[in-house]
Amino acid sequence: MDWLLAGGLGDGGVLTWTASEPVRVLVGVLALLALGLALLPGPAPRRIGDRLLELFLWAGALVVLAMAALGPTWVDESGRTETGPLVVLVDGSASMGVTEDGRQRSDALEARLAELVESGSVDGPVDVYTFDETVRSGPPAETDGRGSDLGVALEATADRYLGQQVRGVVVLTDGVDRGALRRSLREAGADGTLPPGLAPALPGPLTLYQVGQLDDVRDLAIDDVVTGGFAFLRTPFTLTANVRGAPGRTVPITLLRQGRVQQKQDVTLDEEGRGEVGFEITPRRVGRFSWSLQAPIDPDDAVPGNNTFPVVVRVVRDRTRVLQVSGSPSYDQKFLRLFLKEDPSVDLVSFFILRTQADMGAGWAPFELSLIKFPYERLFSEDLGSFDLVVLQNFDYAPYFSFNAEELLGNLARYVEDGGALVMTGGDRSFDMGDYQGTPLERVLPLQLGVAGPKSDEVPFRPVLTEAGLNHPITRLAADIASSQATWERLQPMDGLNMTAGVAPGAGVLLQHPSLTAANGEPAPVLAVAEVGRGRTMALAVDASWRWSFSEAAEGRGNQAYLRFWKSSLRWLVADPDDRRVVVTPARDNVLLGDEVQVVVLARDAGHLPVAAAEVGGMLIGPHGSEVPFSALTDADGEAVFTFRPETTGAHRLTAALVSDPKQAGASVFAVSDRDPELSEITPDRGFLETLAALYGERGRYVAPDESTGPLLDDTAAREVRDRREVDLASAPIVALLFGLLAGGAWFVRRRHGAV
Amino acid sequence: MPHEPTRRQAIAGLGAALLASRARPAMALGAASQLDVAEIMLPSGSTSRPAAWSRMLYELIQTTSVEANPQAVQLAPDDPALFAHPFSVLVGVDGFDPLSDRAVEQLRRYLAYGGFLLLDDGTGSPDGPFAASVRRLCRRLFPTRPLSPLPGDHSVYRAFFLLDAPLGRVAVSDVLEGVTKGPTTPLMYCPNDLSGALDRGPDGTDRYPVVPGGGEQRRQAKKLGINLVMYSLTSNYKHDQAHVAELMRDGKLE
């Protein structure tokens, strides 16, 4: 019978019709039409009894069909009581990845979870959630959360099961928690009080299962490196590493730069297993530089990844240190000193030769003189590295350097090659007239010496910009090229020129003589620049640049041309990365793995004005050589902004250049560390969990890692469950059977009397 | 920072002396770059003493490494050619009429952008009419910076020689006065008639007697002239730390 009714009809159920109103109307109309057809008389007369029987059978069949079309459904609802669920909160933070005795902490966690969920030790439904900084359904897929917050997880549980009873709330964690609950408990515990309401009200008793080794976690780590943010050039600064490990242990910490060991120091950890060690560094160049601090990795180290800490420090120049050496006081020296002395960004050291051996017969006694010895030996040896720029202004070395000229000039050449800057200006003691030919200094000068004919020309002339000079930042005296050229054309003529053998290989001429030629047949160079090794040099073969200052002042123009010329020269010569035409600047020098890094590439023209709509392209080069290309157009401020999300730790280099002029390039670096705060402390916190359990009194329980106590369960916790069963009667076999019998019977009666 | 010369340095110094003895005459690239003196001439109250300045520059050449053209040119205060001569003097023998606005404006620019002006009082009277005219001019040039006595440790007193007093033809004042802007003093007033002590007649003899010190005072005046030129070229160079420290070590400064 149940089969005929598609599963049977229970007690207490109700019949409902599921067809929509239009369907019901349609079915009624169709049924009446069909009945009307059935009433039509057949071709042969029949008995009234047969006629009525046939009509009755057709009507029955139509009723069955119509009822089936109206969607008859038998709905049977019944209520029942079920055991309340057990809620399990599983810690999914990164500290669960800590290795202890060769096994990850998460392994112990999984064992506990399996014991609860799969072993059948707990009857009834189990709802599993993962918590770290947030809460989500299901067990953890990875233990990589950036921090665990048990307080948030408990509050989420209270909200989720509001008004319900659960058999229990089980937490599986190591107790290393970054949330407010743990901090509050610490602070409350410090003054001996644990105020009620500190922890959220839960829908069931709480059991805290702790995982991890409570003692003797072997993890040597560099938790942090304090850099101070930035450092000044040539001023010592300290990288301080905060080291953590076994109390009393002496640990060697190594400072590396580009993979090479720079310094090594031992640090002995205190009774809390902490210590710090500082590495003093004196930066010699400006820019961003990366270092790495390393602690040794023991075979049983719980977190080998936190034994290395990469950092980037930005080195800035507080002031540009300039050494100005003049062989004779002159207007040229006077005006340059005035410029340098009045520039607050310049720290000037001047030495002027006020008297030579030839002047000593003038009859003045030494005590009358306010003269000091020229400390040439110290200046050009031990002090040389302290300067950003050396200006030799009509200075002849020979009367002073004497026997160690080769050594001292060699020092100066190496100083340039190692990143220093040098200017030699003209005069009767400069270039060939200063006998610099064949000296070590000649190899770094932008002009070739050894001129065969006259070593100077004393006919006034007005220098002419070369093609390179039109665009070079040093000779760009105005915002646009035409204005700059016009400025040069109205400046006062020079009084004469130091003749040279022409421009040195690799150097560039910015100003040249309008008619004289050098030994190589090219126009005689007046101003030339060169990049030598990591340094830069400039040769100005005249001694009257002061006229550019005074002549403009005479015309009421101030002295902007002179100031801009020397200011731009200074800027180009010291070559700070931030003064280049393409500047690459990461928003932060040190980032965490997974963080987004924003990089700004600034493009400027020769006059240091921003260039809009310039295409810049570059590469992000990872610590293992991986390359990520990038390109974009600059905006109205000359900036193009790129965003990266580094996937590996270590120093990442950035290079960028103008697509239209690849020589205009910049570079920078930033460091990526995985020093997740979650991993700065990995020892399981038993006190926190015990205190938390105590907050719940009899409804709280703490279970240590080595205990096998079951969870606190509220066996009375239950929930009302309502079952609803629906039987689709239209598809029940009895419908087809009834329809077949009635329709077949009507057909049989009709055929028996010859009707069709 | 200063250190005793080593044996090696001593040998090097001897070498330097030998090389210097055969040094060629110093000359800039073109005479125009060499130092000379521009005498500012006014319609009244000023005078020209080219021989005094030639003598001063000659002494400068003989005594120092400075390359100079021992001549003086005479220019009006509003002559743009003044800007070709960063060292200028105005020798007064009487009060002078106020300068034109154009002249004052040019002098102001001249002094602001690197020029140096010595106002030499030929009257030898710090309270005389020239001094009054000088103070009036200074008020127009530097309304907020009055002409003031220069302190005893001013660089002009140690620019080459160590000077106790700025002596000239007379010794009526122990100090120079000046207007200081930032690290430099572009304008100085000498009440003691410096050019009077240096001036010579056509026969090459001293034009004026020097009182009260006679020959020694004239010698001190030469030293003052050299210091003034050296100061105009090096400004506060002698106040750089390296110099101060070494001069103190040598007992020349306290």
Does residue A22 carry a pLDDT above 70?
yes
Residue of B nearest to A338 (CA): B114
pLDDT digits (tens, 9 = 90+) for B93-102: 999 999 999 9
Does residue B174 carry a pLDDT above 90?
yes
A417 CB-near residues (< 8 Å, 6+ apart): A444, A532, A533, A534, A535
Range from A143-152, B60-69, B172-181 carrying the lowest mean pLDDT: A143-152
Query: What would the mean pLDDT of A679-708 be, rounded to a whole number?
Result: 85
User: Of B11, B19, B33, B227, which to mutate for an interface test with A (greatest number of A Cβ within 10 Å)?
Assistant: B33
Contact A402 B19 (CB under 8 A): yes
Does residue A756 carry a pLDDT above 60?
no
Answer whether B154 touches A (CB < 8 Å): no
Q: How far is CA B18 from the centre of its chain?
A: 31
| Bond prior to B212 in cis (omega within 30° of 0) | yes
Q: Could you say which of A331, A357, A358 has the minimum Cβ distance to residue B35?
A: A331
Q: What is the pLDDT of residue A169?
A: 93
Q: How confident is the model at residue A181 (pLDDT cuts 50, 70, 90)?
A: confident
Cβ contacts below 8 Å, chain A against chain B, sum to 200
Q: How confident is the model at residue A8 (pLDDT cuts 50, 70, 90)?
A: low
At A133, list the tokens.
């900084």
Residue of A nearest to B6 (CA): A377
Higher pLDDT, A102 or B137: B137
Q: What is the pLDDT of residue A45?
A: 67
Q: Which of A339, A342, A340, A346 is nearest to A320 (CA)?
A: A346
Q: What is the pLDDT of residue B3?
A: 36
Contact B28 A496 (CB under 8 A): yes
Does residue A163 carry a pLDDT above 90?
no
Taking the C-alpha atoms of residue A639 and residue A616, their distance in angstroms, rounded to an integer, is 9
Q: How confident is the model at residue B64 (pLDDT cuts 50, 70, 90)?
A: very high
Does residue A1 carry a pLDDT above 80?
no
Q: How far is A340 from chain B (nearest CA, A)?
A: 12
Does residue B238 carry a pLDDT above 50?
yes
From chain B, the residues in CB contact with A455 under 8 A are none
From chain B, the residues in CB contact with A493 under 8 A are none
User: A567 and A475 in contact (C-beta within 8 Å)?
Assistant: no
pLDDT digits (tens, 9 = 90+) for A382-425: 999 989 999 999 999 999 888 899 999 999 999 999 999 999 99
Residue of B nearest to A460 (CA): B30
Q: Could you say which of B12, B28, B223 has the minimum Cβ distance to residue A330?
A: B28
Query: What would the mean pLDDT of A238-262 be, rounded to a whole number?
Result: 92
A738 CB-near residues (< 8 Å, 6+ apart): A60, A61, A64
Q: What is the pLDDT of residue B240?
A: 80
Does residue A314 carry a pLDDT above 70?
yes
From chain A, the residues in CB contact with B21 under 8 A are 357-358
Residue of A nearest to B17 (CA): A357
Q: Which helix (H) or strand (E) holds A106?
A: helix A105-117
Radius of gyration, CA atoms only, chain B: 19
Higher pLDDT, A349 or A578: A349
Taking the C-alpha atoms of residue B182 and residue A54, their distance in angstroms, rounded to an integer, is 129
Q: What is the pLDDT of residue A20?
A: 84
Percent of chain B with pLDDT over 70: 87
Query: What would the mean pLDDT of A112-117 be, rounded to a whole number?
Result: 78
Does residue A281 carry a pLDDT above 60?
yes
At A388, list the tokens.
């950003």
Residue A497: how many CA atoms within 13 Å on its side-chain side?
Answer: 26
Token look-up 């100077």 returns A456
Token look-up 């007005």 returns A462
For B:21-40, CB contacts with A below 8 A are 21, 23, 26-33, 35
Answer whether B152 touches A (CB < 8 Å): no
Q: Give long-range contacts, CB 8 A cutoff, 24+ apart: A106-113.
A: A106/A140, A106/A143, A108/A211, A108/A212, A108/A705, A109/A143, A109/A172, A109/A211, A112/A172, A112/A209, A112/A211, A113/A88, A113/A139, A113/A172
pLDDT, averaged across chain A: 87
E strands in A151-220: 168-173, 206-210
Range from A517-526, A606-615, B20-29, B232-241 carrying the lowest mean pLDDT: B20-29
Q: How far is B48 from chain A (nearest CA, A)?
A: 24
Taking the C-alpha atoms of residue A711 and residue A703, their distance in angstroms, rounded to an integer, is 8
Q: What is the pLDDT of residue B17?
A: 32
Q: What is the pLDDT of residue B50?
A: 96
pLDDT digits (tens, 9 = 90+) for A437-452: 999 999 999 999 999 8
A37 CB-near residues (< 8 Å, 6+ apart): none
pTM recorded for the entire structure = 0.67
pLDDT digits (tens, 9 = 90+) for A49-79: 877 888 888 888 888 888 888 888 888 877 7
Query: What would the mean pLDDT of A573-582 be, rounded to a whole number?
Result: 83
Q: How far is A216 from chain B (nearest CA, A)?
A: 56
In this structure, the number of other CB atoms found within 10 A of the CB of residue A608 comes to: 14
Does residue B232 carry a pLDDT above 50?
yes
Range from A115-124, A238-247, A292-301, A636-645 carrying the lowest mean pLDDT: A115-124
Percent of chain A with pLDDT over 70: 94
Does residue A718 carry a pLDDT above 50?
yes
E strands in A301-455: 308-316, 320-326, 346-352, 389-393, 421-425
Query: What would the mean pLDDT of A178-201 be, rounded to a whole number?
Result: 75
Radius of gyration, CA atoms only, chain A: 46
Residue of B nearest to A559 (CA): B113
pLDDT digits (tens, 9 = 90+) for B114-156: 999 999 999 988 899 999 999 999 999 999 998 999 999 999 9
DSSP annotation of B1 reads -
Residue of A nearest to B229 (CA): A329
Q: What is the pLDDT of residue B4?
A: 36
From chain A, the residues in CB contact with B159 under 8 A are 370
Percent of chain A with pLDDT over 90: 42
Higher pLDDT, A35 or A61: A61
At A120, list the tokens.
């059948």
Query: What would the mean pLDDT of A180-186 be, rounded to a whole number?
Result: 83
Taking the C-alpha atoms of residue B197 and residue B201, their distance in angstroms, rounded to an integer, is 12
For B:192-231, CB contacts with A below 8 A are 223, 230
Q: Residue B204 — left, alpha, or beta (φ > 0 → left; ψ -120 to 50 → alpha)?
A: left
Contact B233 A359 (CB under 8 A): no
Does residue A618 carry a pLDDT above 90?
yes
Contact A334 B161 (CB under 8 A): no
Q: Which of A107, A106, A111 is nearest to A91 (CA)?
A: A106
Does residue B22 carry a pLDDT above 50?
no
Residue of B nearest to A403 (CA): B12
Residue A756: Cβ-neighbour burial (10 angstroms; 0-12, 13-18, 19+):
exposed
Q: Could you say which of A350, A364, A559 has the minimum Cβ distance to residue B63?
A: A364
